[in-house]
Amino acid sequence: MTDPIPLSLSVNGRVVSLTIDPTAPLLDVLRGPLGLSATRYGCGAELCGACLVLVDGVPAYACTREIGTLAGRDITTVEGLGTPDAPHKIQTAMLAVQAGQCGYCLSGMQIAAAALLARNPSPTRSEIAEALDGNLCRCGAHPRILAAVARAAQ
Amino acid sequence: MIANTLPKSLIDNPRLDRWLDFSVPGRAGIRVGKVEIGQGIATALAQIAAEELDVGLDQIDLTAGDTDCAPDEGMTTGSLSIEVGGASLRLVCAEARAIALAAAAARLNCGPQDLSIDAGAIAQNGKPSGQDYWTLRLDLARDATGSAPPKPASAYRVVGQNVARRDLPAKIFGGGFVHDLVRPGMRHGHVVHAPRIGMAIAGLDLAAIQRAAGGRVEIIRHGMMLALIADSPTDLRRAAFAADTAIGWNGLPPLTADQQEAAWLPTQPSRHGAHGDANQPPPGTRITATYSRPYIAHGSIGPSCAVAEFRDGRLTVWCHAQGVFPLQAVLAGGLKLNPAQISVRHLHGSGCYGHNGADDAAFDAAAIACLRPGTPIRVQWRREDEFGHEPVGPAMLVRQDGVLGPDGALRDLTTDIWSAPHSGRGGAGNALTARTQPNPCPPSPVAETSVPYPGAGTRNAIPNYAIPAMRYRHHLVPSPPVRTSALRGLGAMPNIFALECFLDECADAAGQDPLAYRLAMQPDPRARDVLTTVAEMANWSARGPAGTGEGLGLAFGRYKNTSGYAAIAVRVSVDTEIRLLEIWCAADAGLAINPDGVIAQLEGGIIQGASWTLKEQVLLDEAGIASRNWDRYPILRFSEIPPITCRLMHRPNDPSLGMGEATIAPIGAAIGNAASHALGARLRDLPLTRAKIIQAVT
């Protein structure tokens, strides 16, 4: 427990200034004061991937990442990837192949997929599977999520 | 034609205006009791309504699961949402359409046969009549008769089409769940649950809990309940973790290692039920084998969540329960309220697959909210709460004892089933936190019976094959070491695993091909169709010899012997672990409302069932459940998912069959049979881990 400190960071391209407990996890800051609900709580222990965000373009677990380590950093959540009017290609592809059942894991899947496509525009099926291997899905939407990433890469 | 008899949901909720209204111009308000739990039901039901009303799918406003306004359809369970809920909605909408046509005919002074409806507007002999559902001011405050014939399948334009899930866009763009609900002035709550039911707080370090939250947590003792409230979820979580170690529990003896295994069940007192042939088995070649599944978890990716608000004497709960009316009754009984004071509203949660933590989290939120009138309370279970306190899927042990005739055919089968209870709901006393309230309701006794249809532990205990004589004995172990309840398929998965693996063992003993062996005892043409189709998909006729390290296996199941048919073939390689190489499935859903949605359910059941089969077991320690995060409860990952091809039989003129649990059972046996074919040795105890494989071959 630490006293609140002022800090600024970029979230989805917008500079945000907060006075906040620097040990609070990024996940709580996103879902609470910033009102961004796409980043989801799943396990609190970097084991399921539901809370993935991009920190300077690299996937990171928001459930454990302390906000105090992120001053000046650039955070992208699903809300920053795309919107219904201007979707990211992975979002378009997920809708096209109906890549979701309950949908709870899909935010983390999108982040992992977006990071993969940014560094490898035409991944193989096994490269996609490897990139998503830290993301758990319980409904068994895996074949469609794999297909969505492959489609987004086309 | 769809059989025009009144299904249960309609008998229970006969008033048409409970199901639909046209109060908003251009919109059809549809209300149902079956809820979206990730299976796509909200979309399929909207298709049925749009079809029968002749309105556009985009004109449907669907409300699902709301005690204030929607019909009481009980639980969303048993793959019945299309079979019963959909059949009810179809009749309601057909009747509303007929009422509209009759009203329009009277107004236009013509016969109903001159009228048609498109997008809700009524045309007379193909020309606009100026009338529609909204101008007619229909009187729907009357009971359904079920007398209006629904459309024949040949007239369908929405039903039977692949339709995109209506809820998916919101979830892809970052919303759509009860977890995202924010109420003005909302605070965060947590109820401390004992490691096991029946334990009581023996020692408590309140200062440690306060310290962890920087003094910003409110600690409530109420009856035997210990609850925490904070403004910040961060503070609350820290206090909750501190509470995990700041409390000593007593009241129950420590658990022992053998209790986490299915083999413990036959050592325990049990209640016995029997069904089937009363004669003794005839003489012949006897084969016996015993199969098992351990306790497994629902393992929803999103831990359970609810928001509750008690204001002006009314309790409102937003949650992802499978049944809002049953939960209303539990809340009323457990919190000593009148059901009329309680509104329960369903919002989407993470996939539930059965009785997970949803109801308990809702009760937690409600119990705290009642102590803080005017303050909305949000409860989200931690991952550790979900794994540690959800009712787990029961362990089962199934012994098959068969007699083969001189031709090798299975003449007689005796099945012994040992199972923990599959039905842990049963009333107010069975909610976790209800037991800690002042003057708690007593827990309901285990109500599970040994009936064959639809059964629970006995679900699919009767083989869906022509066996001259069969009997089962059900040994219900009512007091397992951990709380158990319904998990996808109930007893169907362990029972079909045991049966379909056993059939391969019988075929081996008879020197026959497993597919031919099944077909010889399968008179149902629809079952034969899925079996022969999947065999063709998997190139079964080229199946190699056993023991090469690569194997091909198949299995069949018809869920509950009354719902969807599925046959699955699996190709694996095995060294010290089983690797899935390819999976094929042929299934028969009758009329598939949304074929792509059915395929998604088939795929999902295959993958979840493969995960149960290869990896999953709830682990216990002395206190209770020890596998409280994914590191100790691994599930199948992307790199382990093989190509999967599912094919639906085309049967639009047959009634729809529930498909949510069609593949969850046969996939286990298909993998077991494939792995045994690869090894040339039999695997019978789930999960099929490295240790089991080494044991089987040495």
Question: Is beta strand B550-558 parallel, antiparallel or unpaired with respect to B342-346?
Answer: unpaired
CATH of A5-80, one of 1.10.260.40, 3.10.20.30, 3.40.50.920, 3.40.50.2300: 3.10.20.30
Averaged pLDDT, A69-91: 98
How close B346 comes to chain A (CA, Å)? 14
Which three-class secondary structure state does DSSP give residue B570?
Answer: strand
The Cα–Cα gap between B9 and B67 comes to 15
> Does the interface ipTM go beyond 0.95?
yes
**What's the pLDDT score for residue A1?**
60
Q: Compare B48 and A3 and report the one with higher pLDDT.
A: B48
- Cβ-Cβ contacts under 8 Å, A26 against chain B: none
**In chain B, what residues touch A146 (CB-CB under 8 Å)?**
638, 641
Half-sphere exposure of B586 (CA within 13 A, CB side): 21
- Chain B: closest CA distance from residue A14 (Å): 18
Q: B234 to chain A: which residues are within 8 Å by CB?
A: 21, 24-25, 28
Q: Is the pLDDT of residue B569 over 90?
A: yes
Q: Which chain B residue shows the shortest CA-CA distance from A110?
A: B172
Q: Domain B396-422+457-697 adopts which CATH fold?
A: Aldehyde Oxidoreductase; domain 4 (3.30.365)
Q: Does residue B304 contact residue B378 with C-beta atoms inside 8 Å? A: no
Q: CA B377 → CA B235, B242, B511, distances in Å?
A: 15, 21, 64
Q: In terms of CA atoms, which chain B residue is nearest residue A103?
A: B171
Q: At what angle do helices B87-108 and B41-53 cross, to 10 degrees?
A: 30
- CB-closest option in A31, A44, A102 to B383: A44
Asked if the Cβ–Cβ distance from B383 to A45 is below 8 Å, we say yes
* Contact B590/A at CB under 8 A: no
pLDDT (average), residues B557-579? 97
Q: Is the pLDDT of residue B3 over 50?
A: no
Q: Which residues in chain B are contacts of A50 at CB distance < 8 A?
A: 301-302
CB-based burial, B537-546: b 16+ in 10 Å, e otherwise: bbebeebeee
- Look-up of token digits 């992120």: A70
Which residues on neighbouring strands pair with residue B393, listed in sequence order? B296
Do A114 and A75 meet the contact criterion of CB atoms below 8 Å apart? no
Q: Which residues of chain A lie closer than 8 angstroms to B351, CB-CB? A: 101-102, 104, 138-139
B303-354: pLDDT as tens digits = 999 999 999 999 999 999 999 999 999 999 999 999 999 999 999 999 999 9
Distance from CA of B328 to the nearest CA of A (A): 24
Could you tell me which chain B residue has the CA closest to the CA of A102? B38
- At B536, the amino acid letter reads E
Residue with tokens 């009203």: B103
pLDDT above 80 for B591: yes
pLDDT in tens, B152-197: 999 999 999 999 999 999 999 999 999 999 999 999 999 999 999 9
The one-letter code for the residue type at A18 is L
- CB within 8 A of B571, min separation 6: which ones? B538, B550, B551, B552, B580, B581, B582, B583, B642, B674
Would you say residue B677 has pLDDT above 70?
yes
Nearest CA in chain B to A139: B604
What's the confidence (pLDDT) of residue B429? 83
- Residue A2 pLDDT class (50, 70, 90 cuts): confident
- Residues A94, A106: Cα–Cα separation, whole Å: 9
Tokens 């396990």 — which residue?
Answer: A43
Q: What is the pLDDT of residue B179?
A: 98
Say if the Cβ atoms of B301 and A36 lie within 8 Å: no
B176 contacts in chain A (CB < 8 Å):
103
Burial class (CB in 10 A: 0-12, 13-18, 19+), B429: middle
State in words which class domain B8-161 has. Answer: alpha beta
Using a CB-CB cut-off of 8 Å, the residues of chain B touching A45 are: 383, 629-631
Q: Please indicate whether residue A2 or residue B85 has the higher confidence score (pLDDT).
A: B85
What does R_g of chain A's alpha carbons equal in angstroms? 15
Taking a C-beta distance cutoff of 8 angstroms, is the pair B260, B254 a contact? Answer: no
- Report the C-alpha gap between B233 and B235 in whole angstroms: 5
Instruction: Search chain B and give the residue with CA nearest A43.
Output: B383
Beta bridge partners of A73: none
**CB-CB neighbors (< 8 A) of B637 in chain A:** 133, 136
In this complex, how many residue pairs, one in chain A and one in chain B, have their CB atoms less than 8 Å apart?
Answer: 174
- C-alpha distances in Å from residue B233, one per residue of A24, A91, A125, A154, B176: 10, 29, 39, 41, 20
Beta bridge partners of B63: B31
d(CA A16, nearest CA chain B) in Å:
19
Is the predicted pLDDT of residue B123 greater than 50, yes or no? yes
For residues B313 and B284, is the Cβ–Cβ distance under 8 A?
A: no
Residue-level pLDDT at B568: 99
Closest Cα in chain B to A25: B234
Residue type at A47?
Answer: L
Q: Where are the domains of chain A?
A: 5-80, 89-153
User: CA B665 to CA B683: how far, in whole Å?
Assistant: 16
CA–CA dist B130, B13 (Å, integer): 32
Name the token pair of B528. 């034969």
**Do the beta carbons of residue B297 and residue B390 sit within 8 Å?**
yes
What tokens does B114 get? Answer: 């001159």
Residues B618-660 pLDDT 10s = 999 999 999 999 999 999 999 999 999 999 999 999 999 999 9
Q: Give the residue extent of every domain in chain B.
A: 8-161, 178-251+298-389, 396-422+457-697
Q: Look up residue A135 and give its amino acid.
A: N
Q: Over range B482-509, report the average pLDDT.
A: 97
In B374-403, the residues whose Cβ lies within 8 Å of chain A are 380, 382-384
One-letter amino acid identity for B138?
L
Contact, B675 vs B575, CB < 8 A? no
Distance between CA atoms of residues B559 and B79, nearest Å: 9
- Give how far A72 is from chain B: nearest CA, Å: 22
Q: What is the pLDDT of residues B124-154, one digit of tens each?
A: 999 999 999 999 999 999 999 999 999 999 9
Domains B8-161 and B396-422+457-697 share a fold: yes
pLDDT(B2) > 60: no
Decide if A139 and B604 are in contact by the 8 Å CB cutoff. yes
A5-80 and A89-153 share one CATH topology? no
Q: Which CATH architecture has domain B178-251+298-389?
A: 2-Layer Sandwich (3.30)
Helical spans, DSSP H, in chain A:
26-31, 78-81, 89-97, 106-119, 125-131, 142-153
Tokens 């919002």: give the residue: B347
Average of per-residue pLDDT values in chain B: 96
B489 close to A (CB below 8 A): no
CATH topology of domain A89-153: DNA polymerase; domain 1 (1.10.150)
| pLDDT score, position B430 | 85
Cα B239 to Cα B210, B211, B629, B639: the distances in Å are 7, 8, 19, 37
Q: Does B207 touch chain A (CB under 8 A)?
A: no
